[in-house]
Amino acid sequence: MSKLVLLQGGQATPFALTEEQNVIGRLPECAIQLQSNMVSRKHAEVAKSDGKFLVRDLGSGNGTFLNGKKVETPTALKHNDRLKVGPMLFRFETDEPQPPAAEIQESDFLADDSEGSTIMATATNLDGFGMLDVAPEAKLKGVLEISRNLAGSVEIDKILPKILDTLFRIFPGSDRGSIVLKDSESGTLRPAAQKHRNPTEDETVKLSRTVLNKVIQEKAGILSADASSDQQFSAAESISALSIRSMMCVPIIDLEGEAIGAINIDTQNPISQFKQEDLEILLAIAGQAGITIANARLYESFLQKQKQDSEMQIAQNVQVALLPESLPEIEGYSFFASYESAQAVGGDYYDCFKLPDNRVVVSFGDVAGKGVPASLVMSRIASVVQCTLKHETDVQQAMLTINDLMSSHSIDGRFVTYVLCVIDLNSHEITFANGGHMCPIVRKADGSLIEIGEEEIGIPVGIMEGYPYEIVKYTLNPGETVVIYTDGVSEAMNSKEELYGMERLNEIVSHNSSDPEELGIVIREDVRKHAGGFPQNDDITLMTFGRTE
């Protein structure tokens, strides 16, 4: 529900806008009755039109002001707009969804002052704490106070109000203060915090565009000792409305010496004007505030990194859960698998499980790419294979179904090189279907090697629906072992950028044990030996299986 909140005497009194037309005035029949001689009998009206509330002045004697500007024509109200009816200040609130803070426009807090700006004094902040050789006692006191008040603060949303509270104690004549910070992505200056001496006054503090640009670009503090004659406010609101007599604006410098924002304070008291030493003290305080803000941002980045690491650990656990917890134990056969992702999660995949008709499925794939995108595709093919093989007994048809399912919701560039093997434990015949993957290597009992199905290799899975994959069959004899691997094995690189290579892989397979588990471990360790601790640039996965002698 939308409402107007009356800000008066330190209290906030809400008035619900339940009618299509809500009149504000002194008369008892007004929806919002105000007891003030400066308010007309029927002063203004807030009416709903096309889902929006518009404010209209009803010919009042003292006028109606929206965000400091006189209402001449019906004007739409936005969340947190300030409406002034005579001496009464309202805040408009609505529970409708609002745009994110990043969409705040500079015009909301910057005053356009193309006519120029009269700057009474400047001071530079070269070392983060201002010129401490000038009024050192006062500056040291200010730095100590701001340090004490900010001690233990690690959240920027809590730090900024503390900075303004401290400034109001150090500069008792301050009436309004604001802090603007640069958006880390766009670099645009945006209001981050503001404070008013009078709790009933919460209008947005407007800053001079000229002054703010000079402060940020030149990293210099600026003092206007008599704002009533300073043209920098001429294009903002009338000087009678702002009632600013003196103001200071200084940059906030980060650890790299870059201006990341600015602090502005002003006073409406014509007697309590700011002086040059006040500007230098504010510079020193801003230096400490800049360090605190920079540290808070680093801490926020650290927390975000921790959160991401935690989420990646969860993703890694989920992916590992998709891989088989154990491989089948079958008399006369041995199975081995090794999986090492290059990142927290990867795109390599393998599976091995028994079917009811005394057959065993060996499923092996490599998703194009690495990291999270590849892992998502990997999880999809893992589920597709499980579902398909539980209902489809024919290997060729199963391969066609897997490809069609992966292709129907494919992502550009995220195909899978894939090998499907089904072992008939009665006849020891293996039926292979290959979608763009390296040919499986068969090590015979005498150590000689052959590659299976080179002429039958089809396109990778997930590229084109309806592709007619071919199958090839091979009868596995005792003492023969099948080796399936991803290119992370053959293309493993060392510090000299030398690849592991097929020649070395074939030599290791040929001259070592025919036992699948022993051979798999030897291959894995030899790849690690070749890399010599050099970071792997791809997932490294291999499977070995065969008949024991």
Q: Give the pLDDT score at 241.
A: 43
Residue in this structure with the two tokens 């294979």, named with its chain if needed:
385
Predicted pLDDT of residue 410 = 66
- When comparing pLDDT for 151 and 314, which is higher? 314
Q: Is 255 left (phi over 0), alpha (psi -120 to 50) or beta?
A: alpha
Name the token pair of 177.
């203060």
**6-11 average pLDDT score:** 73
Contact 108, 191 (CB under 8 A): yes
pLDDT band for position 89 (cuts 50, 70, 90): confident
Is residue 78's pLDDT more than 70?
A: yes
Instruction: Name which residue leads in pLDDT, 159 or 151.
Output: 159
95: confidence class by pLDDT, cuts 50, 70, 90: confident
pLDDT higher than threshold 60 for residue 130:
no
How many C-alpha atoms does 144 have within 13 Å on its Cβ side? Answer: 7
The answer to which of 117-131, 323-337, 473-487 has the lowest mean pLDDT is 117-131
**pLDDT tens-digit map of 286-307:** 888 888 787 877 877 887 887 8
Token pair of 185, please? 């992505």
Q: pLDDT-based confidence at 87, cuts 50/70/90?
A: confident
pLDDT value of residue 175: 86
Quick one: pLDDT at residue 124?
Answer: 52
- Confirm if 203 and 92 have CB atoms less than 8 A apart: no
> Above pLDDT 70, what percent of the chain?
82
pTM reported for the whole predicted model: 0.53
- Asked if residue 101 has pLDDT above 80, the reply is no
Question: C-alpha 188: how far from its chain's center?
Answer: 17
The pLDDT > 90 percentage for the chain reads 32
pLDDT of amino acid 115: 38
**Strand ranges of the sheet holding 21-25, from the earlier edge strand across to the other edge:** 32-33, 21-25, 44-49, 52-57, 75-76
